[in-house]
Each structure stands twice: as C-alpha cells, then as structure tokens.
Structure 1
C-alpha cells in the first residue's frame, strides 16, 4: 500500500492547535508533519532495578511465565509481585518448578482472594510477605539465588532460585507524548469511550499504551484496526 517504514526512535511530538498539523521528530534528526497520528507504542514490563537483574535477564530472570516457565522444570523458582499476574504466574509455574516462592513487599495483596487462596493451598507454593528482593546472584551462566530483605526487621536472607519471574506490572511507553494527549496517573493514554480518539483532535491511540487490562496481541490488533478506521473518518471530514 506504499507505506514508508522508518526504523528509529521518536524523541518528540508537537501539535499546532491552529492548523492541526502534528510534528514528529525522530532520533536521527528527521522531521515528519502529518494531519493524523496513531500512537501504538505499547508497554514494557516494569523492572526491579536491582543488581543482577540485567546481567541475568534471559539467564534466569524473566518477565513472562508462559514464555519461559518450561525452562525451569524441577528447579526452584521465585515470583516477585502481589497482584493477579503474580499469583497466576506462581500457579502456572508450580507445574514446572520443584518449588515456587512468591515474594511480596507488603502483608496484603492486590490479587483477588480466590487466587491468593489457591496459592495458599498449593503445596509447591510458599508465600513470603513484607520482603523485597535486593540482589540476584549467579555464577555468570545463570541465576542461582536471591538476597531478600524483610522490610520490617531489616533481616537479610538468601533463597535459592534458578528462575526469577518479575510480575510487578507494566509501564506504558508514552513519556514522549506528555503534554500532547491526556494520560492517566499510570501513564496510559486516555481515549474517548470505545473509540481510539484521544484528547487531541487527529491523534489516535491503540494497544497496550491504552489498555492496562487485557494486554493481548489479538485485542491490540483489533484496537489498531479501530484506530485506522477512526483516522480514516477523521481525514475524510
């Protein structure tokens, strides 16, 4: 269909309220002007930001249980988080690992009660509360253990783990659009009802930069189709 593909990072977006022209600047210096803009930048897994996380990413540290769980068959696994995703992943990973330890920084959970009870009744799952992971340790080839700190007592302890699954949420990739469209407190772009229209005329958004609930490829693809149709209707006005 003649679309031009440019492989680069967008560094800024501006909007001329008088003309409705949007200006997009990319890292290599090129500038694009357009009447309509679709934002579909997605989201990324929120990181812990602790020593060893980057070093052992892909070598024990993972952000997707369904992607990597089977690599840790009969090995000790840790899940970090306290929401539905963390408990769902712990339950799934208990099918593979020799044990699963779920670590949460508080004594209360955001997860639904049924998921918490299911984990509590699973003999392969141990829940550790009021604790945070301070460091991921390994032998250079793979993760071997984590150091955790009890946030109440300050006590440091070590738990063996070959698989460390981080499930502490997602961050939408929307910082570059700050001030152009309305975002919620978590940074997700707000759209008008079931449409993909944002608070700025001619700017549309779709996928995981909008959707904080489902985060599935098929739902994002459907929203992308809606954004294309909304954009077409806007340009034909």
Structure 2
C-alpha cells in the first residue's frame, strides 16, 4: 500500500513539473503573440508571425502530446493566416484547425477551454464550402462550449459576441460583450488583455449603432 502511494505521489509530482515546464515554454509565445498582434502592422506583422510560428513548431516538438503547446501553435497560425491572406492563409487555417482538434482530444479543458474558443473563431471566420471548412453552425456550438467552460473569460465572450453580431443577434451579443469588457484581468496576459479591450471597444461602438436601429 505504501509503495502504491509513493508511486502515485511520484507520478503526481512529475506531472506537476511537466505542466510547469510546458507553461514556461508557452509564456514567450503568449507574450510575443500579443506584441505582434497589437503593435505591428503590414509586412512587419506578417514576418513576425512567420517567425513566431517557427518558434511554436519548436515548442510543440518538445511537447508533442501537450494540449497547451498545440493550442498556442494553433492560435499563432490562425493569426498568421489573418494577416497573410490568399490561398496560403487557407493552408495555415487547416494547420491551425488540426492543432486545435488534437488539443481537444488530449485535454479539452486546457487553458480554460481555449481550444474551443479558437476553433470556434476559425469556423466562424474561414469561408465555407467549396473554398474552406467554415461553418456558422459549428462555430456556434464551439463558442457556446467555450463560454460554458469559462463563463467570465474575456476571449470566449468577445468571440461569441463577435459571432452573434454577424448573426444579427445584437442584444445577446451586447450581453456577452459586456461580460468580456468586465472580465477579470489576467496577470500573465496584461498586454493581450489591453489589446482585446481595444477590440471590445470597437465592437461596442458597432453594436451600439445596430441596437439603435432595432
């Protein structure tokens, strides 16, 4: 019995150390993503995302079965696709989708369900068949799941509000946008939070105009 307890404690300790290693590996990706996404423009932004994607490849190579690493590579590649455009963007979106789907298989709760948020945003923003895999139905399912896992989170509520705005459900979009606006600050993601709050303010202005007309 004592041996079993010792083995269990050793396994738990190893798991905790492994998790800490992964989080320390992805922290530079998170920090650089916020800097690139919210501070750079045009060619500089595209080049920086290309370099960050290569860095993410290295992190995933070191942590191939870790949901957190796959989530962040998926986020980076989808962001890179957004600035790259064209057919190259679609292939990046496919790669991002594969990473996020694998992350969900490994640990759907990782990073408070961030894979659901990012995958939902992809399904919402990528064109549908025959060009791409986009699907509003799938986007809604994924984003609703993301909000259920992290009901006060800034990202799931922002992206769900953005989706609902495009679906002309302005009242519900406003509710989720206000939740995003009032989300607790993340001490390790302050730059990302500041950038997202700017996007929230822009969407808030757009929604306010829509609500006045309805």
TM-score by length of 1: 0.25
Greater share of helix residues, 1 or 2? 2
Greater share of strand residues, 1 or 2? 1
TM-score by length of 2: 0.26
Higher relative contact order, chain-length normalized (CA < 8 Å, sep 6+): 1
